[in-house]
């Protein structure tokens, strides 16, 4: 029993933090957020060189073969710096390909995703706020040894940056008849539109499929993956967002604590007043709890898979609710400056709201916790 990070993990954290502080301070984040691409190809290339895109992927494809606990270290830091990039989407897609893909599919895609030459994302959702495999509507029409896909996928993270989509669709009439298709951006009938949102450090879009032909070799793994495989994607996503949310809360706490020390009213720093300092103490408590829940869930993912879904549900439920609370408190404790475009708090506040909904909010995940806990 050792609930701490190894020396290597501490080093990795220091390295990621330094890289992001040097290469992508908040001014840079704003620039990237204002651009069309939504990420910086130059930095993306550097992430690949540093090995972070393949951190958890097998060495035979150029990855580092490390664990999700190591990945959490990186994600905490990308969250803390609000680093805009398709990292999360690509990691998720690569993880799914690695787990479910055939030997050929893994060979074809993983090296490109790890060396940064390709960007991928998963396209799961049809309907808003209905994050279960059963809600997937897109119906594949069987034909020519594969399927033909027509329809729309919404809330596709990093849709405009991606050149590969993992599209969830129905392979038949049964509840469990679900598959994932590997659909390249250039395929006939594929179009992508950016969805305007407040948090431009996180991009999302709509993927439209107009009679897109998916051949048998584009069906991930066996033609029919089933609901559990889809549910596990949602779990990976929820865990990754929760890990980033830890960093987001730390960013909020650092910025706001510093402001509370610097800003004086009624003759003393506002951080002296309990109406200010107590909400900050509560954010600290929440960060501690989020760390505990996320680290355990990341460990369980590989070491205790039976316990992972419940552990992830707890982590995401807590992160969704409390990150949002931290964003609200952070802005409020700044007074009017917090409401400006110029001051950075707004960036964190917007991200806190993104973190709530993405891969399930607290209601969704607390309902799962209830189910797992025999409630």
Partner 1 sequence: MDFDFTEKEQAFRAEVKQFIADNLPPPEQRGEDFEKHWHAKLIEKKWIGFSWPKEYGGGGGTLIEQFILKEEMSKALAPDLGSDFMGLTWVGPALIRHGTEEQKKEFLPDLLNCRSSWCTGYSEPDVGSDLGSLKLRAVRDGDDYVINGSKIWTTRAHVARYIFLTVRTNPEAQSRYSGISVLLTPMNTPGIEVRPIVNIVGQHHFNQVFFTDVRVPVSARLGAEGEGWKVVMGALANERSGISESTGMERHLEKLKELARNSQKGGKPALQDAEVRRKLARFETQISAMRLNGLRNLTKQIKGAQPSSETSVNKLLRGILEIPMADLAMSLLGNEASGMGEWQFDALNFHGTVIGGGSPNIQRNIIAERVLGLPKD
Q: Cβ of residue 5: shortest distance to partner 1, in angstroms?
A: 6
Q: Cβ of residue 90: shortest distance to partner 1, in angstroms?
A: 24
Indicate whether 267 belongs to the interface with partner 1 (CB under 8 A). no
Indicate whether 281 belongs to the interface with partner 1 (CB under 8 A). yes
Indicate whether 364 belongs to the interface with partner 1 (CB under 8 A). no
What does the alpha-carbon distance between residue 281 and residue 270 come to, in Å, rounded to a whole number?
14
SS3 for 287? helix
Strands 140-143 and 178-184: unpaired
What are the phi and psi torsion angles at 89 (to 5°)? -65, -45
What does the alpha-carbon distance between residue 159 and residue 105 come to, in Å, rounded to a whole number?
21
Of residues 15 and 292, the one with the C-beta less far from partner 1: 292
Indicate whether 34 belongs to the interface with partner 1 (CB under 8 A). no
Of residues 57 and 297, the one with the C-beta less far from partner 1: 297
What does the alpha-carbon distance between residue 278 and residue 269 come to, in Å, rounded to a whole number?
14
The one-character DSSP state at 144 is T
The one-character DSSP state at 158 is T
The one-character DSSP state at 313 is H
Determine which residue in the list 55, 238, 333, 369 makes contact with partner 1, applying CB under 8 A: 369
Q: How many CB atoms lie within 10 A of CB 117?
A: 12
Determine which residue in the list 289, 328, 332, 353 makes contact with partner 1, applying CB under 8 A: 289
Q: Cβ of residue 359: shortest distance to partner 1, in angstroms?
A: 16
Determine which residue in the list 63, 205, 247, 271 makes contact with partner 1, applying CB under 8 A: 271
SS3 for 205? strand
Determine which residue in the list 25, 288, 337, 340 makes contact with partner 1, applying CB under 8 A: 288
What does the alpha-carbon distance between residue 15 and residue 77 come to, in Å, rounded to a whole number?
10
Determine which residue in the list 117, 191, 304, 340 makes contact with partner 1, applying CB under 8 A: 304
Indicate whether 348 belongs to the interface with partner 1 (CB under 8 A). no
Contact letters for partner 1, residues 194-233 (x by CB under 8 A): ----------------------------------------
Q: How many CB atoms lie within 10 A of CB 231?
A: 15
Indicate whether 5 belongs to the interface with partner 1 (CB under 8 A). yes
Per CB under 8 A, the segment of 164-172, 229-237, 333-341, 359-367 that binds partner 1 is: 359-367
| Token duo for residue 279 | 């909400």
What are the phi and psi torsion angles at 225 (to 5°)? -85, -35
Q: ∠ at Cα 83 (80, 89), nearest 5°?
A: 110
Indicate whether 150 belongs to the interface with partner 1 (CB under 8 A). no
Q: Cβ of residue 374: shortest distance to partner 1, in angstroms?
A: 7
Indicate whether 314 belongs to the interface with partner 1 (CB under 8 A). yes
What residues contact 34, with CB distance under 8 A and at least 6 apart?
Answer: 200
Q: How many CB atoms lie within 10 A of CB 303?
A: 12
Determine which residue in the list 187, 277, 343, 357 makes contact with partner 1, applying CB under 8 A: 277
The rounded radius of gyration (Å) of the Cα atoms in the chain is: 21
Of residues 185 and 334, the one with the C-beta less far from partner 1: 334
Q: Cβ of residue 56: shortest distance to partner 1, in angstroms?
A: 14
What does the alpha-carbon distance between residue 82 and residue 85 come to, in Å, rounded to a whole number?
9
* Residue ranges binding partner 1 (CB under 8 A): 1-6, 9, 69, 253, 257, 260-261, 268-269, 271-274, 276-278, 280-282, 284-285, 288-293, 295-296, 298-300, 303-304, 311, 314, 317-318, 363, 366-367, 369-370, 373-375
């Amino acid at each position: 029993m050792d609930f701490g990070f190894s020396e290597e993990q501490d080093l990795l954290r220091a390295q990621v933090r330094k890289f992001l502080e040097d290469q992508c301070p908040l001014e840079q984040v704003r620039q990237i957020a204002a651009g069309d691409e939504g990420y910086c190809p130059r930095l993306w290339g550097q992430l690949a060189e540093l090995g972070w895109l393949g951190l958890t992927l097998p060495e035979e494809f150029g990855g580092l073969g490390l664990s999700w606990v190591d990945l959490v270290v990186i994600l905490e830091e990308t969250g803390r710096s609000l680093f805009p990039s398709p990292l999360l989407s690509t990691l998720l897609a690569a993880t799914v390909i690695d787990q479910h893909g055939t030997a050929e599919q893994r060979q074809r895609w993983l090296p490109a995703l790890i060396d940064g030459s390709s960007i991928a994302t998963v396209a799961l959702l049809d309907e808003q706020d209905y994050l279960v495999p059963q809600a997937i509507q897109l119906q594949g029409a069987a034909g020519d040894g594969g399927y033909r896909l027509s329809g729309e996928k919404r809330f596709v993270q990093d849709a405009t940056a991606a050149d590969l989509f993992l599209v969830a669709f129905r392979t038949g009439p049964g509840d469990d008849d679900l598959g994932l298709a590997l659909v390249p951006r250039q395929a006939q009938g594929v179009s992508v539109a950016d969805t305007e949102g407040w948090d431009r450090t996180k991009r999302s879009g709509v993927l439209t499929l107009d009679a897109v032909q998916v051949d048998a070799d584009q069906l991930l793994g066996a033609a029919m993956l089933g609901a559990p495989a889809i549910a596990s994607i949602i779990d990976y996503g929820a865990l990754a967002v929760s890990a980033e949310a830890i960093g987001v809360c730390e960013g909020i706490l650092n910025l706001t604590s510093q402001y509370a020390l610097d800003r004086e009213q009624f003759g003393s720093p506002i951080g002296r007043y309990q109406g200010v300092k107590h909400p900050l103490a509560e954010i600290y408590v929440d960060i501690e709890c989020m760390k505990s829940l996320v680290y355990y869930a990341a460990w369980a993912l590989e070491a205790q898979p039976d316990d992972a879904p419940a552990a992830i549900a707890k982590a995401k439920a807590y992160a969704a609710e409390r990150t949002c609370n931290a964003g609200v408190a952070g802005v409020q404790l700044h007074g009017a400056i917090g409401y400006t475009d110029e001051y950075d708090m707004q960036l964190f506040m917007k991200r806190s709201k993104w973190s709530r909904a993405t891969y399930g909010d607290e209601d969704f995940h607390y309902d799962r916790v209830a189910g797992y806990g025999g409630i």
